[in-house]
Chains A and B, each alone.
Chain A
Amino acid sequence: MTQAQTPPLLEVSQLSKTYHLNTSVLQRLAREPVLSLKAVDRVSFFVRAGETLGLIGESGCGKSTLARVVLRLHEPTSGSVVFDGADITKLPYREMTALRRRMQIIFQDPYASLNPRKSVLEIVGLPMAIHGIARRSEIRDRVVAMIESVGLKSEYLNRFPHQFSGGQRQRIGIARALILNPSLVVCDEPVSALDVSVQAQIISLLKALKRELGLTYIFISHDIGVIGHVSDRIAVMYLGEIVEIGPSRDLLKAPQHPYTKALLSSVPRIDVRQKSERVKLAGDLPSPLSPPTGCKFHTRCPFVFDRCRVEAPVLRPRGADSAAACHLLEAP
């Protein structure tokens, strides 16, 4: 495998996104302190062409914000996102719009992400109209081909979202994301809203489409089973930071970071007998408005020691393709 030599399709460095709260006029008049929420905090990673990077973490850890900042749907506060050689955080509007053809997103909620007043033809055809890449007569043919390849029938073309089940709606969302023939697709919890049997149908569809069209995925989920199944590499997030990243097999078999260990051992599994000893976590996720000092995980970590409370660990390479941020892992 010479994958390591090919330049990555996407390279993210020191990317941060901070939201400021209490900024309304009234709140400022009342002299309420402005709070900053670091949703994404100096995150660096890369995605190779043709691979699937899984992004996992609990709710509020910043994984969806990260995805939106990477696509520049939200403006980053600092850091860079290099997509196919160009830093998209600095691109002017027009060039950015042109580039959006190559980076698309599939949303979590197939009920909220489709306009209820538009037909399938309009929803899936709209991206082509926006980018002016097909004539009206062509749009219809291409939409038909697209929805057939995601497993919908061509006679559904003039139906509206409410006439479909959750799984079918998600197929419409997938068709809309793929109609422009993108290179990078961010799948933001694409199966979380679906029942398990439908979930499996959508996952196999996404895997098949990736093979056929040579796509690159960033796949976000809180379901470790799903992530393990679709990803080549996995990044684990906690309170806005990546705490561990590595090839799926290694990360799932031999997690290094205590948080990854706890997360993996908390997942209820049907192969109970194969489970490793549970690493129990006490307490809830701390508020991201006032994250703990030092290592952000130290308030819940079963292995915490003095250094963790004062000094934040950095993501250091562990082996060929892995990295983890934990003082425990560093040689004394």
Chain B
Amino acid sequence: MSAPLLSIRGLKTCFPTRAGLVTAVHGVDLDVYPGECLGIVGESGSGKSVTFASVIGLVRPPGFVAAGAINFEGIDLRTLGSDGWRGLRGRDIAMTMQDALTALNPALTVAEQIEEVILAHAGDLPKRGRREAARQRAVEMLRLVGIPAPEARIDDYPHQFSGGMRQRIMIAIALSCRPKLLIADEPTTALDVTIQAQVLDLISELRRELGMSVVLITHDLGVVAEHTDRVAVMYAGQIVETAPTQQLVEQPRHPYTRGLIGLIPKLSDLDAPIRPIEGRVPELIDLGGVCRFYERCEFRKAACQSDIPMNHVAPDRQARCLRIDEIPPLKEVSQ
């Protein structure tokens, strides 16, 4: 396999709160390879968004990255100064936020918001008529993401667009400098399914066209199954399983992943009962010395009361579980 584009090792991100220090991300190791689409799946509070906010240097104070190494194309992102970030964010790494309405500036037109990025980063604009060239490129971006009549709509404000269209505008801004890595944080959560399908198809198409890597953060395993190559499942601040997507949905190995898949209602088998995972996610304060899924796990044993490392299941699969070899495989989903 080629060298990873982004490499995260031992990432730990904390937030001081009145109740104590919350470790939202605890020891995350992750690689993103050129051209792949990596899915990050987990429930709210599992640390999936915080992991990538840490990568792009946007952890909101008083939160802070406490430990770990983040490497993007040989650059150590943790030591990057604000000038370094300015050259990188928007150009090589771009991120789309979950809520397109609050992420776009309501007081600026769409044209101003896309041109700003292009003027800041694109080195190949002609000296004369830079603004016209930037506007031209902004129109092209809007056309690329499927906004009808982009020349006419580009001077509109965000509120004049529907939710799906706003999400497309965010994608247009993120892609306007052809980044090597796009981080898409829940890009379709607020959208209806028919619009969601349009936006996700668009991201997949653009990925192939531009040859970029995509990290797709979502809580929806269905989205992961249809749109990603590889997936990492997060639970309570840790990655509990990584695997090629098809293998993960058909033969999940970690008890939490098995649970997640067991509780999704399947349209192909209406009689299959949905089995809830009982209990709740633990508070992320002073955890340690026990598997984080211990309280809810149907396969737990005494030895699980220790810090569990990631164990190799297959060359490209890992799971944070001591008992992967003993747990019987789940009935294959597609039968």
Interface residues, chain A, with chain B CB atoms under 8 Å away: 58-59, 165, 195-197, 199-201, 203-204, 222, 224-226, 228-229, 248-249, 252, 262-264, 266-274, 278, 280-281, 284-285
In the complex, the answer to whether A204 meets B267 with C-beta atoms within 8 Å is no
Q: How far is the CA of A284 from the CA of B166 in the complex (A)?
A: 12
Q: A262-B194, A263-B194, A270-B222 are in contact. Are A196 and B263 (CB under 8 A)?
A: yes
Q: Do the beta carbons of A200 and B196 come within 8 Å of each other?
A: no
B192 to A274, Cβ gap below 8 A?
no
The smallest C-beta distance from B136 to any residue of chain A, in angstroms, reads: 26
Beta-carbon contact of B334 and A225 below 8 Å: no
Number of A-B contacts (CB under 8 A): 116
Nearest-neighbor residue (CB-CB) of B272 within chain A: A229
Contact of B275 among A200, A222, A285 (CB under 8 A): A200
Is B280's beta carbon under 8 Å from chain A?
A: yes
CB distance B164 to A284 under 8 Å?
A: yes
Question: Which residues in B have their C-beta under 8 angstroms from that of A271?
Answer: 225, 249, 266-268, 333-334
Identity of the chain B residue whose Cβ is nearest the Cβ of A58 in the assembled complex: B192
Whether the pair A268, B219 counts as a contact (CB closer than 8 A) is no
Q: Are B276 and A200 in contact (CB under 8 A)?
A: yes
With A203-B274, A272-B225 already in contact, 16 other A-B pairs whose C-beta atoms are closer than 8 Å: A58-B193, A195-B219, A196-B219, A197-B260, A224-B267, A229-B274, A266-B197, A267-B222, A268-B197, A269-B225, A269-B266, A270-B221, A270-B266, A271-B334, A278-B197, A285-B162
Residues of chain B within 8 A (CB-CB) of A278 are: 197
Which residues 257-277 of B have a CB within 8 angstroms of A? Answer: 259-261, 263-268, 270, 274-277
B114–chain A nearest beta-carbon distance, Å: 21
Docked complex Cα distance between A224 and B197 (Å): 14
Judge whether B124 is part of the interface by a CB distance below 8 angstroms. Answer: no
Closest A residue, CB atoms, query B192: A58
Contact A266 B333 (CB under 8 A): no
Chain B residues within 8 Å of A59, by CB? 192
* Complex CA distance for A176 and B279, rounded to whole angstroms: 23
Q: Could you list 15 A-B pairs, sorted by A, with CB under 8 Å?
A: A195-B219, A197-B263, A197-B277, A203-B274, A203-B276, A228-B267, A262-B194, A264-B267, A266-B194, A268-B196, A268-B220, A270-B224, A271-B333, A274-B334, A280-B198
Q: Kindly supply a per-residue 1/0 record for chain B positions 222-252, scoring 1 wherever the CB is within 8 Å of any chain A CB and 0 otherwise.
A: 1111110000000000000000001001000
Nearest CB in chain B: distance from A299 CB, A: 12
Q: Name which residue of chain A comes closest to B164, CB basis.
A: A284
Q: Are A267 and B219 neighbours in the complex by a CB distance under 8 Å?
A: no
Cβ B43 vs Cβ A268 within 8 A: no
Q: Which residues of B contact A262 (CB under 8 A)?
A: 194
Interface centre among A222, A249, A252, A284 (most CB of B within 10 A): A284
B195 to A: closest C-beta gap in Å: 7
Q: Which residues of A contact B227 (CB under 8 A)?
A: 268
Q: Chain B residues with Cβ under 8 A from A195's Cβ? A: 43-44, 219
Would you call A201 and B276 a contact (CB within 8 A)? yes
Cβ-defined contact, B222 with A268, below 8 A: yes
Interface size class of B (residues with CB under 8 A): 35 or more
CA distance A224 to B43 in the complex (A): 20
Across the A-B interface, give the 8 residue pairs with the lowest CB-CB distance, nearest first: A268-B222, A200-B263, A225-B265, A200-B276, A58-B192, A229-B265, A266-B197, A201-B276
Q: A228-B270, A263-B194 are in contact. Are A196 and B334 (CB under 8 A)?
A: no
The CA of A269 and the CA of B194, in the complex, are separated in Å by 13
Let me know if B200 is at the binding interface, CB within 8 A: yes
A229 in contact with B270 given A195-B44, A274-B334 (CB within 8 Å): yes
Q: Contact check, B270 vs A248: say whether CB atoms are below 8 A apart.
A: yes
A183 and B170 CA atoms in complex are apart in Å by 47
Q: Across the interface, do A284 and B195 meet the contact criterion of CB distance under 8 Å?
A: yes
The reply to whether A267 and B195 form a contact with Cβ atoms under 8 Å apart is no
Does B316 sit within 8 A of A, measured CB to CB? no
**Distance, CA A272 to CA B192, complexed state (A):** 19
Bound Cα distance from A264 to B222, whole angstroms: 13
CB-contact partner of A268 in B223, B265, B266, B334, under 8 A: B223
Residue B165 interfacial (CB < 8 Å): yes
- Cross-interface CB contact of B193 among A201, A228, A263, A270, cutoff 8 Å: A263
Taking a contact as CB atoms under 8 Å apart, the answer to whether B192 and A285 are in contact is yes
User: Contact: B276 with A197, CB < 8 Å?
Assistant: yes
Q: Which of B165, B198, B265 has the most CB of A within 10 A?
A: B265
CB distance from B323 to the nearest CB of A (A): 20
Given the complex, which residues of A lie within 8 Å of B259, measured CB to CB? 197
Contact A269 B193, beta carbon cutoff 8 Å: no
Among A228, A229, A281: residue with most chain B CB under 10 A: A229
Is B286 in contact with chain A by the CB < 8 A criterion?
A: no
CA distance A203 to B263 in the complex (A): 10
Q: Nearest Cβ distance between residue B278 and chain A, in whole angstroms?
A: 7
Q: Is the CB of A249 within 8 A of B194?
A: no
Give chain B interface residues in 157-213, CB to chain A under 8 Å. 162, 164-165, 192-198, 200
Q: Assess the B267–A269 pair: CB atoms within 8 A.
A: yes
Residues of B within 8 A of A201 (CB): 276, 278
B263 & A252 in contact (Cβ 8 Å cutoff): no
Given the contacts A268-B225, A268-B227, A272-B226, A196 and B270 also touching, CB distance less than 8 Å: no
B260 partner residues in chain A, CB cutoff 8 A: 196-197
Q: Which of B219, B221, B270, B278 has the most CB of A within 10 A?
A: B270
